[in-house]
Structure 1
Amino acid sequence: MARLQARPFVCRALLGFVCLSGLAVEVTVPSEPLSTPMGKTAELSCTYSTSVRDSFVLEWSFVQPGKPVSASHPILYFTNGHLYPTGSKAERASLLRNPPTGGVASLKLTDVRPSDTGTYLCQVNNPPDFYTNGLGLINLTVLVPPNRPLCSQSGTTSVGGSAALRCSSSEGAPKPVYNWVHLGSPTPSPDSMVQDEVSGQLILTNLSLTSSGTYRCVASNQMGSASCEITLSVTDSSEGRVAGTLIGVLLGVLLLSVAAFCLIRFQKERKKTPKETYGGSDLREDATAPGVSEQTSMRADYSKGLLERSPSASTLTAKSKLSMVV
């Protein structure tokens, strides 16, 4: 009796499972990421299965790399037999089959750009088939050749020191790898060169004069390559000290030469200056002869003064002497 009661329950469960499986919306997308060269057309495949033909709704949306699905932006809608493109990709987005009947809901995106890299969501809703979310995710990478990288250097560029050369491209998908080469000869020792192809850095250790020269960095990926060059000049510090000493000696000699020239010219100018000289016969009237005392000089001046002040007295004395003789 118990077995008879259990059989109807099992039958009802199996019937319910069959019915539910027919009401599920199934969306199928490629499991592998999709890549398309820049400027080309990308076709994002999306197929679906459903048991209901009315109230069919299809939505395509886009989310940037590194962001959650909840931050997606709509690209287009299809509902009630009409297609409604929207968003920044509206002019380049369309359905591969319009209307999306027969289980094909693939998206076509023309003239792809680097900003088109991200995750695309294909979602199908077809009430009353609500038993699955009907969502498929497709990762698209737009392939871009690397642009011309920027070369730079840092470190001590003297003999025995270390220097780092860096190379980086702002564009390129997939991310480019970097390779450094030394142009010309002689080539530095491989032991003194360590490069990282991912970061684009070249480390030069134990620098020597042969490390000088031009270095070229090549950034490449499957879409192409680009390069930049930088010149490294390694100096010898001992030669610098010798050069500094030599310059100091030359400056000292120059200063001494200028000082000697100025002194010689001064001596010449001094010899050209005339001096006052007196001949043996050019005696001053008021000069005092050697050996004559100051008192004698004063008497002579006094007598001379009397003679100059008393001309009439001398005349009278002469006249009186003449009268006496008569």
Structure 2
Amino acid sequence: MARLPGPFLCWALLGFVSISAPGLAVEVKVPAEPLSASVGNTAELTCSYTTSVGDNFALEWSFVQPGKPISASDPILYFTNGHLYPVGSMAKRASLLQNPPTGGVATLKLSDVHPSDTGTYLCQVNNPPDFYTNGLGLINFTVLVIAIAVPPSTPVCSQSGQISVGGSAALRCQSSMGEPRPVYNWVHLGSSPTPSPGSIVQDEVSGQLILTNLSLTSSGTYRCVATNQLGSASCELTLSVTDPSKGRVAGTVIGVLLGVLFLSVGAFCLIRLQKERRKRPKETYGGSDLREDAIAPGVSEQTSMRANSSSGLLERPPSASTVTTTKSKLSMVV
């Protein structure tokens, strides 16, 4: 059996390894758990890699909105040929923790985060000829929205329902602003008795007060107070409970009074009409008709007056002209 020389065997083995072995793998590491930051803060999305950085090294960060596929990602920044290129809507707020990212750290810094920054971030490293893996890492990032605490705004009070004896009423109270969310409390003001506890149902969360089986004592002023840790505000409304039975009695009394008034006016007009008829002068007839109190020719007024006295009327003393006329007539007869 022929013996191969040592140097030839070594070169043969090295050639075989160089042909059959693949290139070095690019390995990207990102946090396994989701990351988060509060609105307005700066977030650091950690990404590291291992590879032999050469002239073809390239880094890309991109972003995918929630519910969309990875293929729909939008670029944030590139690093290639020794230069950094921020792009897209986050260009002014995106940067690298280390620039250039050639030391195995590709962490992304995102300043003044917005709620719209919530989504999936992709850290991808390319370094030909290291193509053994795709060099991709995914990070789920959430922006936490923390509301600013504010006191309750002045609430608005309103009422609805059948506001009468035996009916039900709903009083409502609501503030448009307030953080933490305010609670509501209703109180009945004034000296009038407070409705019995069984007729009140109050919801401190919704600000609603239900009054059932209303009575006249349920009338009055009600105040709603909205309260949270930073302060309180209030509003008021007046509830007027009516009694339908009193309304019917009042209507009957008014009807009777109107009837009496109409009858009185009618009687007054009738009496006045009769008086007007009595004051009218008697009608006279034409020249051919004689008046009942006319004196016949040749009969003195004295004779007429005596005739009247015999019928029960007062006798008027004769005038001088009447006496003279009578004497002249007697002398003519003699």
Percent sequence identity over aligned pairs: 48
Write out aligned runs for 1:290-309 (5 A).
none
Query: Partners of 1:180 and 1:122 in 2: how far apart?
Result: 48
With over 3 angstroms needed to count, the CA separation of the structure-2 counterparts of 1:26 and 1:202, relative to structure 1, is same
The structural deviation recorded for 1:248 is 1.7
The structural deviation recorded for 1:210 is 2.1
Query: Partners of 2:226 and 2:272 in 1: how far apart?
Result: 69
1:108 to 112, 122, 131: 112
Local SS of the residue matching 1:26: coil
Corresponding letter in the other structure for 1:199:
S
Per-residue CA distance 1:214-253 (angstroms, 9 max, x = gap): 2233344456544333221111223222222222222222
Residue 51 of structure 1 corresponds to 49
Residue 140 of structure 1 corresponds to 145
Contact 1:29 1:46 in 2 (8 A): no
With over 3 angstroms needed to count, the CA separation of the structure-2 counterparts of 1:44 and 1:153, relative to structure 1, is farther
Does residue 1:153 correspond to 2:166, yes or no?
Answer: no
Contact 2:117 2:142 in 1 (8 A): yes
The structural deviation recorded for 1:153 is 1.6
The structural deviation recorded for 1:163 is 0.9
CA root-mean-square deviation = 4.0
Residue 31 of structure 2 corresponds to 26
Contact 2:186 2:225 in 1 (8 A): yes
Does residue 1:205 correspond to 2:212, yes or no?
Answer: yes
2:238 to 231, 248, 259: 231
Residue 199 of structure 2 corresponds to 192
Local SS of the residue matching 2:125: coil
Local SS of the residue matching 1:55: strand
Contact 2:35 2:45 in 1 (8 A): no
The structural deviation recorded for 1:279 is 2.6
Per-residue CA distance 1:276-317 (angstroms, 9 max, x = gap): 26333279xxxxxxxxxxxxxxxxxxxxxxxxxxxxxxxxxx
Unaligned stretches of 5+ residues in structure 2: 1-24, 51-56, 99-104, 127-133, 285-290, 297-334
Does residue 1:218 correspond to 2:221, yes or no?
Answer: no
Residue 255 of structure 1 corresponds to 262
With over 3 angstroms needed to count, the CA separation of the structure-2 counterparts of 1:70 and 1:279, relative to structure 1, is farther
TM-score, structure 1 normalization: 0.58
Local SS of the residue matching 1:244: helix
Corresponding letter in the other structure for 1:269:
E
The structural deviation recorded for 1:194 is 0.8
Residue 328 of structure 2 corresponds to none
Local SS of the residue matching 1:242: helix
Does residue 1:180 correspond to 2:186, yes or no?
Answer: yes
Residue 164 of structure 1 corresponds to 170
With over 3 angstroms needed to count, the CA separation of the structure-2 counterparts of 1:239 and 1:175, relative to structure 1, is same
Query: Partners of 1:107 and 1:234 in 2: how far apart?
Result: 61
Unaligned stretches of 5+ residues in structure 1: 1-18, 35-40, 62-67, 110-115, 284-326
Instruction: Give the count of matched residue pairs.
Output: 238
The structural deviation recorded for 1:83 is 4.3
With over 3 angstroms needed to count, the CA separation of the structure-2 counterparts of 1:204 and 1:268, relative to structure 1, is same
Query: Partners of 1:48 and 1:191 in 2: how far apart?
Result: 62
Query: Partners of 2:74 and 2:257 in 1: how far apart?
Result: 78
With over 3 angstroms needed to count, the CA separation of the structure-2 counterparts of 1:274 and 1:242, relative to structure 1, is same
Query: Partners of 2:174 and 2:159 in 1: how far apart?
Result: 12
With over 3 angstroms needed to count, the CA separation of the structure-2 counterparts of 1:142 and 1:249, relative to structure 1, is same
With over 3 angstroms needed to count, the CA separation of the structure-2 counterparts of 1:150 and 1:249, relative to structure 1, is same
The structural deviation recorded for 1:147 is 4.0
Local SS of the residue matching 1:262: helix
The structural deviation recorded for 1:205 is 1.2
TM-score, structure 2 normalization: 0.56
Local SS of the residue matching 1:275: coil
Query: Partners of 2:108 and 2:86 in 1: how far apart?
Result: 14
With over 3 angstroms needed to count, the CA separation of the structure-2 counterparts of 1:170 and 1:244, relative to structure 1, is same
